[in-house]
Amino acid sequence: MATAAPRRKRRKSERVSTAGPEPQAVERVPVREAGLLPESPEGFQPEPRPTRQQVRERAYLYYLARAGAPGDAFSDWVRAERDLRAEMRRGGEADG
Protein backbone atom coordinates (compact mmCIF):
# COMPACT_ATOMS: atom_id res chain seq x y z
CA MET A 1 0.00 0.00 0.00
CA ALA A 2 1.40 3.34 -1.03
CA THR A 3 1.47 6.18 1.46
CA ALA A 4 0.52 9.64 0.35
CA ALA A 5 3.22 12.26 0.26
CA PRO A 6 2.84 14.92 2.93
CA ARG A 7 1.15 18.09 1.69
CA ARG A 8 3.21 21.20 1.71
CA LYS A 9 1.80 24.64 2.40
CA ARG A 10 1.41 26.92 -0.55
CA ARG A 11 3.31 30.14 -0.58
CA LYS A 12 1.36 33.38 -0.72
CA SER A 13 2.28 33.81 -4.35
CA GLU A 14 0.90 30.31 -5.12
CA ARG A 15 -2.40 30.70 -3.29
CA VAL A 16 -5.53 30.70 -5.34
CA SER A 17 -7.87 33.61 -4.85
CA THR A 18 -11.40 32.61 -3.93
CA ALA A 19 -12.71 36.15 -4.24
CA GLY A 20 -14.82 37.09 -7.22
CA PRO A 21 -13.99 39.83 -9.67
CA GLU A 22 -13.06 43.24 -8.33
CA PRO A 23 -16.17 45.29 -7.53
CA GLN A 24 -16.74 48.19 -9.84
CA ALA A 25 -16.94 51.71 -8.52
CA VAL A 26 -20.49 52.94 -7.96
CA GLU A 27 -21.42 56.58 -8.08
CA ARG A 28 -22.70 57.67 -4.70
CA VAL A 29 -25.92 59.64 -4.75
CA PRO A 30 -27.52 61.14 -1.63
CA VAL A 31 -30.51 59.06 -0.58
CA ARG A 32 -32.98 61.93 -0.75
CA GLU A 33 -31.82 62.89 -4.26
CA ALA A 34 -32.21 59.30 -5.40
CA GLY A 35 -35.87 59.48 -4.33
CA LEU A 36 -35.52 56.71 -1.77
CA LEU A 37 -36.86 58.76 1.16
CA PRO A 38 -40.28 60.37 1.22
CA GLU A 39 -40.35 64.11 1.65
CA SER A 40 -41.35 65.27 5.12
CA PRO A 41 -44.88 66.67 5.17
CA GLU A 42 -45.22 70.36 5.89
CA GLY A 43 -45.58 71.08 9.58
CA PHE A 44 -44.54 67.58 10.64
CA GLN A 45 -43.93 67.42 14.39
CA PRO A 46 -42.27 64.39 15.97
CA GLU A 47 -44.12 62.67 18.78
CA PRO A 48 -43.40 64.40 22.11
CA ARG A 49 -41.29 62.37 24.50
CA PRO A 50 -41.20 62.67 28.28
CA THR A 51 -37.87 63.47 29.88
CA ARG A 52 -36.04 60.87 31.93
CA GLN A 53 -36.79 62.90 35.05
CA GLN A 54 -40.53 62.88 34.32
CA VAL A 55 -40.49 59.10 33.80
CA ARG A 56 -38.40 58.58 36.93
CA GLU A 57 -40.81 60.61 39.05
CA ARG A 58 -43.91 58.87 37.66
CA ALA A 59 -42.36 55.40 38.14
CA TYR A 60 -41.58 56.38 41.74
CA LEU A 61 -45.22 57.35 42.25
CA TYR A 62 -46.25 53.87 41.06
CA TYR A 63 -43.79 52.39 43.56
CA LEU A 64 -45.33 54.48 46.33
CA ALA A 65 -48.83 53.47 45.23
CA ARG A 66 -47.79 49.87 45.98
CA ALA A 67 -46.92 51.14 49.47
CA GLY A 68 -43.25 50.50 48.76
CA ALA A 69 -43.84 46.79 48.34
CA PRO A 70 -41.30 44.97 46.19
CA GLY A 71 -42.29 44.90 42.57
CA ASP A 72 -40.92 45.16 39.10
CA ALA A 73 -39.07 48.45 38.60
CA PHE A 74 -38.82 47.87 34.85
CA SER A 75 -42.61 47.48 34.55
CA ASP A 76 -43.08 50.68 36.57
CA TRP A 77 -40.71 52.51 34.20
CA VAL A 78 -42.42 51.24 31.05
CA ARG A 79 -45.87 52.02 32.44
CA ALA A 80 -44.77 55.53 33.41
CA GLU A 81 -43.29 56.15 29.96
CA ARG A 82 -46.43 54.85 28.21
CA ASP A 83 -48.77 56.91 30.40
CA LEU A 84 -46.77 60.11 30.00
CA ARG A 85 -46.65 59.74 26.21
CA ALA A 86 -50.41 59.18 26.11
CA GLU A 87 -50.96 62.32 28.19
CA MET A 88 -48.67 64.33 25.92
CA ARG A 89 -50.51 63.09 22.81
CA ARG A 90 -53.84 64.13 24.35
CA GLY A 91 -52.37 67.56 24.99
CA GLY A 92 -52.14 67.26 28.74
CA GLU A 93 -49.04 68.76 30.30
CA ALA A 94 -46.82 66.14 31.93
CA ASP A 95 -45.47 67.04 35.35
CA GLY A 96 -41.87 68.04 35.34
> Taking phi first (over 0 means left), then psi (-120 to 50 degrees means alpha), and beta for anything else, what does residue 58 get?
alpha
The DSSP string of 3-14 is: PPPPPPPPPGGG
For the chain, domain boundaries: 52-90
The predicted structure's pLDDT at residue 43: 67
The predicted structure's pLDDT at residue 2: 64
The predicted structure's pLDDT at residue 96: 47
Residues of the chain with pLDDT under 50: 94, 96
